[in-house]
Amino acid sequence: MNENDRFFPPEKHDHSIENKYRNVISVLAAHRIALWEYDIPTGACCFDDDYFRVLGLRDAGIEFADIDDFYRFAHPDDVDSYRNAFECMLASDTKVSKIRVRCVGREGQAVWLEDCFFSCEPDEQGRPRKLIAYTSNITSRCEKEARIRSLEERNRKIVEALPEFIFILDDRFVITDVLMSRGTILLHPVNELIGADGRTIYSPEVSDLFVRNIRECLQDGQIKEIEYPLDKDGRHYFQARIAPFEGNRVLALIHDVGDRVRHTEELIVAKKKAVEADRLKSVFLATMSHEIRTPLNAIVGFSELLAADDCDAHREEYLDIIRKNSNLLLQLINDILDLSRIESGRAETHFQQVEITGLLEEVEKVHRLKMKEGVGFRIECPRLPVWISSDRNRLTQVLFNFLSNAIKNTDRGWITLGAKLRNDWLELFVTDTGRGIPQEKVPLIFDRFEKLNDFVQGTGLGLSICRSIAERLGGRIEVRSQVGEGSTFTLCLPCCSATAVCTDAEGSADRRRKVILVAEDVETNFKLLEAALSKEYVLRWVPNGQEAVLSFVRERPDLILMDIRMPVMNGIEATEKIRAISPDVPIVAVTAHVFYSEKEQALAAGCNTVVSKPYSPDDLRKTVRRLLGTDA
């Protein structure tokens, strides 16, 4: 039997088929493909010399006679998989299969083979008696695939090592892919980004900036660099380095530069403060030089006159002048020290229950004797007793300053000290019929050393101190004035409703359960917290940081859950203001953006711990219990 008889039975082929077969063999050999056959009944294999030559096996020292002999050269990791695949093929009806295997040469080199089987020569029952297989040497292809996999793995590790993420964008500004490391948290879900038009994510200005730089990058092949803001749950800042990629697509390496922008803004603010501080220093020295010398001149001068022998007739008058100027000098020094303590954060605020009518009566007794001739003094108190939680000494200090200014600027008419309730606010006010303040000067009166009348003694620090005190108490100061008719200065403080009277007894009755203040602008998030905590604690909800500060001053909760991203005033600012009032109340920061270093900012502002969204209700309860000291 000649070579071709092994593949085509004599009765099934003629001279034309034999010639065609030789041509097929020749073509297959050119592509490093060889044929062999397997006898199904006996298991005998037939490999000719061309098989090992064409596939390059002989050069590698690989030669075998049958399947069992072949397994000696197969890679140990591939033997079982090849054997199982071969047996499954024999057991199947179609007898068609493709099996890939590695053979190991004499020098340890790997030769990849791929066998493709099909059946022929059916018997009387139609069952095939032989398998024909053509084998390909696919070593080059497998090595290329291995290199590609290696490059993919390398690129994946590089991407995962980057702190940034990568957008692949086309010239229409469509995001075709997003590459990022595991654990990276983006402002938008990845499945929403891929395939999205960038214009639906960015503002028109930022979109135009991207499109212009993408097109320039594709035209000149140069890397472009842009910085832009993105408003989502607050404002974020990013830098994008845009580089050509494939065809009409570019790579955009996105980097969060929010910290750098914030630091730059802080440096600008710090520079402005430094310039302002330098200006204030000059103003301070000039003002203090004048204000200190004026009473000192009177004290020294009249002290020398008292030492003379002929001053008995004016002794009492001189002593009164010395006494008044000594008090003025003492007040000046106290104002300077007080402002220094407040701005350095060393001024303590002691909250307690204060009854307003009694406070006003005490202030009225002190100032009634200071009224000028021709100026009346009256007091207006609420009909019902009103109690608020505040610092009694600081309230007195503000009212003293209001009255002192009113007395200095009122020569006729009335000065009124009073209080009234308006919704959830208590208003303490001083009204006079004095000179009044021009409307353009009203915004300036709270600036340091600002004096509307240089011929009236004073430091120009009093109202600046009053504003700082009002903010620490969670309130504000309002001014209404008209030139020639008088002024009204009002200290507005958060208080209980007008129909309720805040007493210690009621306060203790309301504290049967711990109170938690929840500062959260999204109602569904509050509902989740309510479901998790309301069985154990009383929850109070406010929608922004400003309301959180006011609610804390008004209600004094046992713990605060502070969302970081809120309108009006964010959680970082609110925490700083609350910490200026109380260093002890536990504050838990709640954020969904730990990727942007908010944890460090929250802790630096004074939060005790940070909880990241999404959070487990059980873990949140454990955190709250630990901070409140109510662990089981």
Q: Which of 587, 613, 617, 616 has its CA nearest to residue 602?
A: 587
Cα-to-chain-centroid distance, residue 174: 27
Rounded to 5 degrees, φ, ψ at 360 are -65, -40
**CA–CA separation, 417 vs 396, rounded Å?**
12
Q: Are 400 and 360 in contact (CB under 8 A)?
A: no
75 pLDDT exceeds 90? yes
379 CB-near residues (< 8 Å, 6+ apart) = 360, 361, 364, 416, 417, 418
CATH number belonging to domain 162-256:
3.30.450.20
Low-confidence winner among 244-258, 289-303, 481-495 (lowest mean pLDDT): 289-303
The residue-averaged pLDDT of 567-572 equals 88
Residue 376: pLDDT band with limits 50, 70, 90: very high
In the block, tokens 């938008």 appear at 188
Residue 8 — pLDDT band, cuts 50, 70, 90?
very low
pLDDT at 509: 39
**Cα three-residue angle 360-364-370, rounded to 5 degrees:** 155
CATH hierarchy code of domain 512-628: 3.40.50.2300
Q: Does an H or E element contain 119, and which?
A: strand 110-122
- The per-residue pLDDT for 314 is 73
Model confidence at 178: pLDDT above 50: yes
Say yes or no to pLDDT of 501 above 50: no
> Are 352-494 and 512-628 in the same CATH fold?
no
What's the pLDDT band for 597 if we cut at 50, 70, 90?
low
Which pLDDT belongs to residue 433?
93
Name the one residue in this structure whose structure tokens are 């990727």.
Answer: 595
Instruction: Please tell me the predicted confidence (pLDDT) of residue 73.
Output: 93
Question: Residue 208 CB: number of other CB atoms within 10 A?
Answer: 13
Closest CA to 574 of 546, 606, 555, 600: 546
529 near 520, Cβ under 8 Å?
A: yes
Domain boundaries, the chain: 31-145, 162-256, 267-343, 352-494, 512-628
Instruction: Write down the pLDDT at residue 342.
Output: 59
What pLDDT, on a 0 to 100 scale, did the predictor assign at position 284? 65
pLDDT band at 130 (very low <50, low <70, confident <90, very high): confident
Question: What pLDDT does 508 receive?
Answer: 41
Average pLDDT over residues 81-94: 87
Which CATH architecture group holds 31-145?
Answer: 2-Layer Sandwich (3.30)
Q: How far apart are CA 63 and CA 35, in angstroms?
A: 15
516: part of which helix (H) or strand (E)? strand 515-519
Type of residue numbered 538: V
Residue 92 has pLDDT above 50, yes or no: yes
CA–CA separation, 512 and 537 (whole Å): 9
pLDDT digits (tens, 9 = 90+) for 43-58: 888 888 888 988 989 8
CA distances from 514 to 280, 508, 557, 627, 628 (A): 46, 11, 8, 12, 8
- Provide the pLDDT for residue 455: 41
pLDDT of 15-34, one tens digit each?
433 444 566 667 777 778 88
Residue 405 burial (10 A CB sphere; 0-12, 13-18, 19+) = buried
| Radius of gyration for the chain, computed over Cα atoms and rounded to the nearest angstrom | 44
Contacts of 316 (CB under 8 A, 6+ apart): none
The answer on pLDDT for 498 being more than 60 is no
pLDDT at 349: 67
Q: Which of 104-108, 330-334, 451-455 has the lowest mean pLDDT?
A: 451-455
The chain-wide mean pLDDT, for the chain, equals 81
- State the SS3 of 131-178: EEEEEEECHHHHHHHHHHHHHHHHHHHHHHHCCCEEEEEECCCEEEEE
pLDDT of 244: 92
Instruction: Retrieve residue 519's tokens.
Output: 């500062």
In the prediction, which pLDDT does 7 show? 43
Q: What sign does the CA torsion over 378, 383, 385, 391 have?
A: negative
**Are 582 and 589 contacting, i.e. CB atoms less than 8 angstroms apart?**
no
As a whole number of angstroms, the distance between CA 472 and CA 469 comes to 5
How far is the C-alpha of 233 from the C-alpha of 564, rounded, in Å? 10
Higher pLDDT, 627 or 2: 627
pLDDT digits (tens, 9 = 90+) for 194-213: 889 999 989 999 999 999 99
Q: Return the CATH superfamily for domain 352-494.
A: Histidine kinase-like ATPase, C-terminal domain (3.30.565.10)
Average pLDDT of the residues in 146-154: 85
Provide, rounded to the nearest whole percent, the portion of the chain with pLDDT above 90. Answer: 21
Residue 368's pLDDT band (cuts 50, 70, 90): confident
Question: What is the pTM for the complete model shown?
Answer: 0.38
At 438-460, the pLDDT tens digits run 888 887 787 765 555 544 454 45
Confidence class for position 331, pLDDT limits 50, 70, 90: low
Question: 214 pLDDT exceeds 90?
Answer: yes
What pLDDT, in 10s, does the model give residues 511-533? Answer: 467 889 999 988 888 888 888 88
Report phi then psi at 125, rounded to 5: -90, 0
pLDDT at 619 over 90: no
Write out the two tokens for 319: 């002593």
Say if strands 235-244 and 224-231 run parallel, antiparallel, or are unpaired.
antiparallel
Query: What confidence score (pLDDT) does residue 286 get?
Result: 67
**What is the dihedral sign for C-alpha 302, 306, 312, 318?**
positive
Q: What is the pLDDT of residue 460?
A: 57
Q: Which 3 state secondary structure label does DSSP give 507?
A: helix
Find, among 493, 476, 495, the residue nearest to 384 by Cα: 495
Please tell me the predicted confidence (pLDDT) of residue 10: 42
Single out the residue of 557, 582, 169 nearest to residue 350, CA to CA.
582
Q: Which of 391-395, 435-439, 621-625 has the lowest mean pLDDT?
A: 391-395
- 242-275 residue pLDDT tens: 999 888 999 888 888 888 888 888 889 889 888 8
Confidence of residue 78 (pLDDT cuts 50, 70, 90): very high
152 has pLDDT over 70: yes
Structure tokens at 604: 């630096």
378-386 mean pLDDT: 84
Task: Summarize the confidence of residues 373-380 as an average pLDDT.
Answer: 91
**417 or 128: whose pLDDT is higher?**
417
| Exposure string for 422-447, b = 16+ CB within 10 A, e = fewer | eeebbbbbbbbbbbbbeeeeeeebbe
Decide if 473 contacts 553 (C-beta within 8 A): yes
499 confidence band (pLDDT: 50, 70, 90): very low
Q: What are phi and psi of 103, to 5 degrees?
A: -110, 150
Say whether pLDDT at 84 is over 70: yes
Give 525's Cβ-side CA count (13 Å radius): 21
Q: In 10 A of CB 309, how many CB atoms?
A: 5
Task: Look at residue 5 and tell me whether its pLDDT is greater than 50.
Answer: no
**Average pLDDT of the residues in 231-250:** 88
Helices (H), 534-606: 545-555, 571-581, 598-605
CATH of domain 267-343: 1.10.287.130
> Who contacts 211 (Cβ-Cβ below 8 Å, separation ≥6)?
173
Write the CB contacts of 32 (distance below 8 Å, at least 6 apart in sequence). 54, 55, 56, 136, 137
